Amino acid sequence: MDKLFLAIAIFCFSGTFAQDVKSYYQLIDSNLIRKHAVILASDSLEGRDTGQRGQKKAAAYISSEFRKIGLDSLTSSYLQQFNLIREKRSGKLRFEDKNLTYPQDFTYVGFYDSVHLDLQAVPVLSWAKFKAESNFGENLIVLVNTYEDVDFSLLSQKSVKNLFFVCKTYKAKHLMQEDDNLRFAPLIKQGIFFLDGKKIRCSEGKTYNLELAAWSERVGTENVVACVPGSDPVLKNEYVVVSAHYDHIGIKNGKVYNGADDNASGTSTLLELARVLNEARKKGEQPKRSVLFLCFTGEEHGLFGSEYYSKNPLVPMLKTVADFNIDMIGRKDPAKESKQFSVYVIGSDKISLDFHKKHEAIAKGHKNLVLDYTYNLDSNPEKLYYRSDHYNFAKNGIPSIFYFGGFHEDYHQPTDDIEKLNFTKIETIAELVFDALWQFGN
């Protein structure tokens, strides 16, 4: 179904129906949200870094709460599992009779998984010839002055599998990547290597033998997914998504980064929305469309959980009509919110203006909450539209909203703790999100 037509279709609702949803969102309990947040933002969860013990404890907690609530599971134990690669790189390279040490004498990009290469008679070209020619074997040595000479956009046009750039001037620090970087696995199978030209003898027109062993660490992680099926026999095959990432940034220099606002606040809210919606389901009064609750891992490292889901969806993306994403809604700005709470709304108008207008109409029923579009502006330097999990739905043409409470001095600091959350504000925003998912679900 055309998404614009679908968006228009779901905008129709009656005043009586609006009153029904109010009776449900008034059941949202800030004390239950607090209970979840206290657990998720506790030191025992070790900052919930993707692939680490604390993240897995958080996933187990969320899945157990889904089970207690009575939500449907689309997978085994509510988990969608996948692998990443941690870039704790290491390696050995033998160039003819010379042993090179990583990273002092060589480094590389690509090969984010383990690899062993034994290459014979690899030819050597200058950078000028490499740029000019196109027919090569799988392996090639190229002479350059420095890594800055290498045009990476050009490399994708060449068929070479393994490229060894021998640099006249070699500076490892320019090429090193952070050890805790995570990437999808399996990844690039092309290897691009940079060697210190002062450590080896290498001449154009000759061939050389190379042997390489490189390795990195595979990391397993998981999204947590649950569903409340819709009430309509046809429309239940379409889905409204409520999403929040539950990972954070772990332990650094011995300090636990608990991420109470980022994003225990959003994940705890999602759990409470799921509970209340299932109360409606028990009475046979849930929305016509199904509602999918998605708790994503890997957001802090690059939206990995939502990207994986968008490429491996558990329900068809073409049947997904909206995503309401909750990320950092727990802090009050005293200077700005002395009389009313506010929430930044990001992305609502990017896919469908009808979607945006309908959301604004819904929000008018929540007079103690002001919508702020500051971070939605294309001119805003923070570019938040691209920085949370809703974006992996939006780029697939799915109308999406990112609810955001605002930055503060504790953002990505070990001081982002539970006692600084304002649960009255969280409950107020949760009521709007519930109202929205209900209206768009019918």
Q: Which of 169, 189, 218 is the last residue of a domain?
A: 218
Query: Which parts of 168-300 are beta strand (E)?
Result: 182-184, 191-196, 207-228, 239-245, 251-252, 255-256, 290-296
Q: What SS3 state is found at 322?
A: strand
- Residue 414 domain boundaries: 3-72+229-440
Q: Are 417 and 310 within one domain?
A: yes
- Residue 298 backbone dihedrals phi, psi, to 5 degrees: 70, 10
Q: Minimal CA–CA distance to 239: which of 383, 392, 441, 402?
A: 441
Cα–Cα distance list, 161 to 117, 118, 122, 175, 256 (Å): 12, 13, 12, 20, 42
Residue 78 lies in a domain: no
Q: Are 38 and 98 within one domain?
A: no
Residue 80 lies in a domain: no
Q: Which of 175, 198, 218 is the last residue of a domain?
A: 218
Q: Are 10 and 106 within one domain?
A: no
State residue 401's pLDDT score: 98
Q: Are 201 and 159 within one domain?
A: yes
Q: Are 254 and 371 within one domain?
A: yes
Q: Are 170 and 268 within one domain?
A: no
What is the C-alpha to C-alpha distance for residues 58 and 45, in angstroms, rounded to an integer? 7
Q: Are 147 and 14 within one domain?
A: no
Residue 339 lies in a domain: yes
Residue 263 lies in a domain: yes
CATH number at residue 186: 3.50.30
State residue 88's pLDDT score: 67
Pairing state between β 139-144 and 115-126: parallel
Residue 57 lies in a domain: yes
Residue 181 lies in a domain: yes
What is the C-alpha to C-alpha distance for residues 186 and 416, in angstroms, rounded to an integer? 34
Q: Are 338 and 383 within one domain?
A: yes
What is the C-alpha to C-alpha distance for residues 62 and 71, in angstroms, rounded to an integer? 12
Total domain count for the chain?
2
User: Which residues are within 8 A (CB) of 215 and not within 5 positions of it... i.e. 6 or more apart?
Assistant: 89, 90, 91, 114, 115
Rounded to two decimals, the pTM is 0.79
Residue 135 lies in a domain: yes
Q: Are 62 and 13 within one domain?
A: yes
Cα 300 versus chain centre, distance: 6
Q: Are 186 and 318 within one domain?
A: no
Q: Which of 197, 218, 239 is the last residue of a domain?
A: 218
State residue 172's pLDDT score: 65
- Determine contact, residues 390/316, Cβ cutoff 8 Å: no
What is the C-alpha to C-alpha distance for residues 198 and 168, in angstroms, rounded to an integer? 7
Q: Are 46 and 111 within one domain?
A: no
- Residue pointed to by tokens 């329900």: 315
Residue-by-residue pLDDT tens, the chain, 442 positions: 444 434 444 444 434 444 489 999 999 999 999 999 999 999 999 999 999 999 999 999 999 999 999 999 999 899 999 988 776 667 788 999 999 988 889 887 765 566 788 999 999 999 999 988 877 888 999 999 988 888 877 777 777 888 899 999 987 654 544 445 676 654 445 678 899 999 998 899 898 898 877 767 778 999 999 999 999 999 999 999 999 999 999 999 999 999 999 999 999 999 999 999 999 999 999 999 999 999 999 999 999 999 999 999 999 999 999 999 999 999 998 888 988 999 999 999 999 999 999 999 999 999 999 999 999 999 999 999 999 999 999 999 999 999 999 999 999 999 999 999 999 999 999 999 999 999 999 9
Q: Minimal CA–CA distance to 197: which of 141, 155, 115, 153?
A: 141
What is the C-alpha to C-alpha distance for residues 265 and 22, in angstroms, rounded to an integer? 22
Q: Are 182 and 128 within one domain?
A: yes
Residue 425 lies in a domain: yes
CATH number at residue 271: 3.40.630.10
